[in-house]
Amino acid sequence: VQLQASGGGLVQPGGSLTLSCVASGRGVLVNTVAWYRHTPGSERELVAEIVRGRSTTYADSVKGRFTISLDNDKNTGYLRMNNLKPEDTAQYSCNANVYTRSTGSVYYWGKGTLVTVSS
């Protein structure tokens, strides 16, 4: 199983971006997807998490602006980010719990994607 994060870029304050986290491999089933962000000198922060068929969780700093979703047909988790602020600038990484018949349920990390919010 491989996990690939993408969708970062440069955006002006107030703008929007959608990040994607794709799990590839034979017979994968994505159970959870979580997005984390990190800036130099700071601890990694949990931004949002979704559990398949159950619940979503958001950091207080992004509630009402970010939306996490999971498309199991595409084995892809998304993070829609609206009304972006300069303080959202960070390296965003996804972490997913993925099930396959051969491995069982395993957590994987995807490479980060950089989000820069600046005018």
Between the CA of residue 62 and those of 25, 103, 106, what are the distances in Å? Answer: 31, 34, 27
Contact 59, 80 (CB under 8 A): no
pLDDT at 56: 96
- Cα 24–Cα 17–Cα 113 angle in degrees, nearest 5: 50
pLDDT in tens, the chain (119 residues): 999 999 999 999 999 999 999 999 989 999 999 999 999 989 999 999 999 988 999 999 999 999 999 999 999 999 999 999 999 999 999 999 999 999 999 999 999 999 999 99
Contact 35, 47 (CB under 8 A): yes
pLDDT at 53: 81
